[in-house]
């Protein structure tokens, strides 16, 4: 097995990592014109543009601003102006529909997420290289840059990939600090922790689990004499960096505290969730396990299992992440679990290297690598709605919402309906305005309706409807799929 290296990386491997990051970015950019806005994007867009334009952050404190600021900056670069305050959903749609071509504005906002995805790929490569050497690092970068969940959410103007990038970077800084405790590394660690916490308020959960895993696997001994000096560096670096993300405003701490309190309330009381055909007001302890197993490429899971034969940093952190998220009551999508993927990618790369130690193993590893690349390439452009081969035949019976139907297929619906698909009734799950996209007359599906003719129905509405038999009248009615998330039925009069 290749040993960890501290030398300068060889140019071909650097070029390979850069190429992988570039290909991932190009794959994401190629999806911008396919999908309309997803459910949460208007809120992130409104808050990001407010921050980038006014230097204030007042519209919604529940999510901190780090992931939203680049979205606002990208919109400003594209020439989009701040339309004024109001309800964040209304303001978000006002920006999208009133700032020039819809797709151009949406693409500009989504471009603000790309730097976080690239940073995540680079950090994964860098950390893997320090642990295992050049080849395994390049394989880890390959896996993380082709993970459908990361590509799907990396193509949206949201803050989930920002969380993953910031958490992994902060844990990498913690690992480097444990390698060689020093004041400069303590300062960097403090700044990185602040970036993670200001990306999303779930970051402390991941940071605590990750640091605990690092301490256990390394059996690290703390230098108690140096600790006060290093804490004196970590704490101010954390405070100043966090304050900088809030634009050094005097009311920043009030905004931060209010957001943290809202996030804590949300976490305690839960969020309605759907899994395996059932709905729950607070979710299930095994939600992320199931979501991971069906939303992760099978070849990647097999290789990660091969890489988990020995206790290691990536394995310890991944296990810790699974453990600490089991009691979480806001379990509504794999997007909340994205920080696990870089460590799974490291394990998959390690597994491929271990399998390659024998002739038969090399052949098996090659087949699994080809399978992974082929499966994730064929998933284009539907990375958001990707399910692996074991689950692809019955996706909406397993998960909906941001794992399958987040309102992204409104543009595909607009292309699928025309004068031949009238009368048309639409039950759309999302924040896009169907009237701005559909070119044919339609009526909106209301509770209690049992219309005839053409019916376009989002699978999230279908699966999360109340009462559960609301759509019994559609049982046995033939339908075709529009994209991955909308059923188009024809119910004869």
Mean pLDDT within 35-52: 97
Give a yes or no: residue 172 inside a domain: yes
pLDDT at 174 over 60: yes
Which residue among 77, 111, 145 closes a domain?
A: 111
Which residue among 378, 394, 425 closes a domain?
A: 378
Separation CA 15–CA 480 (nearest Å): 44
Measure Cα distances from 125 to 7, 86, 297, 302, 378 in Å.
Answer: 14, 42, 20, 20, 24
Statement to judge: residues 165 and 231 lie in one domain: yes
Determine if residue 38 is left, alpha or beta; phi over 0 gives left, psi from -120 to 50 gives alpha, anything else beta: beta
Statement to judge: residues 242 and 301 lie in one domain: yes
Give a yes or no: residue 390 inside a domain: no
End-to-end CA distance of the chain: 68
Statement to judge: residues 360 and 235 lie in one domain: yes
Residue 180: exposed, middle, or buried by beta-carbon count in 10 A (0-12, 13-18, 19+)?
A: exposed
pLDDT tens digit string along 65-84?
A: 999 999 999 999 999 999 98
Give a yes or no: residue 4 inside a domain: no
Mean pLDDT within 201-221: 91
Percent of the chain with pLDDT over 90: 82
In this predicted structure, what is the pLDDT of residue 4?
Answer: 57
Confidence band for 169, pLDDT divided at 50, 70 and 90:
very high
pLDDT at 398 over 60: yes
Give a yes or no: residue 207 inside a domain: yes
pLDDT tens digit string along 134-161?
A: 999 999 999 999 999 999 999 999 999 9
In this predicted structure, what is the pLDDT of residue 1?
Answer: 40
Angle (CA) 345-408-143 rounded to 5° is 10
CA dihedral 14, 18, 20, 21 (to 10 degrees): 140
pLDDT tens digit string along 255-299?
A: 999 998 998 888 887 888 999 999 998 889 999 999 999 999 999
Give a yes or no: residue 459 inside a domain: yes
pLDDT at 28 over 90: yes
Statement to judge: residues 104 and 125 lie in one domain: no
Statement to judge: residues 185 and 152 lie in one domain: yes
Domain with 84, as residue range(s), is: 41-111
Statement to judge: residues 347 and 199 lie in one domain: yes
- Cβ-contact 344, 116 below 8 angstroms: no
Mean pLDDT within 158-184: 95
In this predicted structure, what is the pLDDT of residue 12?
Answer: 86
In this predicted structure, what is the pLDDT of residue 269?
Answer: 78
The tokens describing 378, both together, are 């064929």
Give a yes or no: residue 274 inside a domain: yes
Angle (CA) 209-215-221 rounded to 5° is 150
pTM: 0.94
Give a yes or no: residue 101 inside a domain: yes
- Cβ-contact 33, 161 below 8 angstroms: no
In this predicted structure, what is the pLDDT of residue 423?
Answer: 93
Mean pLDDT within 208-226: 85
Statement to judge: residues 275 and 135 lie in one domain: yes
Q: What is the mean pLDDT of the chain?
A: 93
Statement to judge: residues 296 and 239 lie in one domain: yes
Statement to judge: residues 75 and 119 lie in one domain: no
Statement to judge: residues 127 and 102 lie in one domain: no
Mean pLDDT within 346-353: 97
Q: Name the strand (E) or helix (H) holding 280.
A: strand 278-280
In this predicted structure, what is the pLDDT of residue 3?
Answer: 47
Q: Which of 456, 276, 382 is nearest to 38 (CA)?
A: 382
Confidence band for 5, pLDDT divided at 50, 70 and 90:
low
Which residue among 51, 78, 111 closes a domain?
A: 111
pLDDT at 223 over 90: no
Statement to judge: residues 61 and 119 lie in one domain: no
Mean pLDDT within 374-388: 97
Estimate the crossing angle of helix 102-111 against helix 41-54, to 10 degrees: 70
Statement to judge: residues 190 and 45 lie in one domain: no
pLDDT at 2 over 80: no
Give a yes or no: residue 463 inside a domain: yes
Mean pLDDT within 18-37: 97
The total number of structural domains in the chain stands at 3
């Amino acid at each position: 097995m290749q040993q960890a290296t501290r030398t300068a990386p060889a140019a071909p491997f650097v070029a390979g990592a850069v190429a992988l990051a570039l290909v991932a970015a190009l794959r994401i950019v190629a999806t911008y014109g396919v999908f309309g806005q997803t459910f949460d994007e208007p809120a992130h867009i409104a808050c990001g543009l407010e921050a980038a334009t006014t230097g204030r952050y007042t519209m919604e404190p529940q999510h901190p601003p780090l992931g939203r600021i680049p979205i606002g900056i990208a919109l400003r670069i594209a020439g989009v102006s701040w339309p004024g305050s109001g309800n964040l959903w209304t303001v978000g749609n006002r920006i999208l529909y009133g700032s020039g071509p819809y797709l151009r504005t949406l693409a500009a906002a989504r471009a603000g997420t790309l730097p976080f995805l690239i940073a995540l790929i680079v950090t994964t490569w860098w950390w893997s290289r320090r642990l295992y050497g050049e080849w395994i690092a390049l394989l880890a970068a390959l896996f993380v840059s082709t993970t459908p969940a990361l590509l799907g959410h990396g193509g949206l103007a949201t803050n989930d990939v920002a969380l993953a990038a910031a958490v992994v970077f902060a844990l990498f800084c913690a690992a480097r600090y444990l390698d060689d405790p020093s004041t400069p590394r303590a300062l960097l660690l403090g700044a990185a922790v602040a970036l993670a916490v200001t990306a999303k308020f779930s970051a402390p959960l991941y940071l605590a689990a990750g640091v605990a895993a690092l301490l256990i696997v390394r059996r690290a001994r703390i230098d108690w004499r140096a600790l006060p000096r290093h804490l004196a560096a970590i704490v101010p670096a954390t405070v100043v960096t966090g304050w900088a993300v809030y634009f050094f405003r005097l009311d920043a701490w009030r905004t931060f505290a209010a957001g943290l309190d809202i996030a804590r309330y949300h976490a305690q009381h839960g969020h309605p969730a759907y899994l395996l055909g059932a709905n729950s007001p607070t979710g299930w302890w095994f939600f992320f396990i199931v979501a991971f197993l069906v939303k992760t490429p099978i070849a990647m899971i097999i290789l990660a299992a091969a890489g988990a034969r020995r206790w290691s940093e990536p394995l310890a952190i991944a296990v810790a992440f699974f453990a600490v998220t089991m009691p979480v009551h806001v379990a509504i999508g794999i997007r909340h679990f994205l920080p696990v993927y870089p460590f799974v990618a490291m394990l998959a790369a390690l597994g491929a290297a271990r399998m390659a130690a024998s002739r038969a193993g090399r052949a098996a590893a090659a087949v699994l690598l080809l399978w992974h690349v082929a499966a994730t390439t064929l998933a284009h452009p539907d990375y958001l709605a990707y399910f692996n081969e074991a689950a692809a035949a019955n996706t909406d019976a397993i998960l909906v919402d941001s794992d399958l139907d987040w309102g992204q297929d409104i543009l595909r619906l607009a292309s699928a309906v025309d004068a031949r698909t009238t009368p048309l009734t639409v039950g759309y799950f999302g924040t896009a305005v169907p009237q701005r996209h559909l070119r044919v007359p339609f009526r909106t599906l209301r509770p209690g309706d049992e219309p005839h003719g053409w019916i376009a129905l989002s699978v999230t509405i279908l699966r999360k409807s109340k009462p559960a038999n609301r759509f019994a009248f559609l049982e046995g009615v033939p339908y075709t799929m529009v994209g991955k998330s909308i059923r188009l039925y024809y119910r004869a009069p």
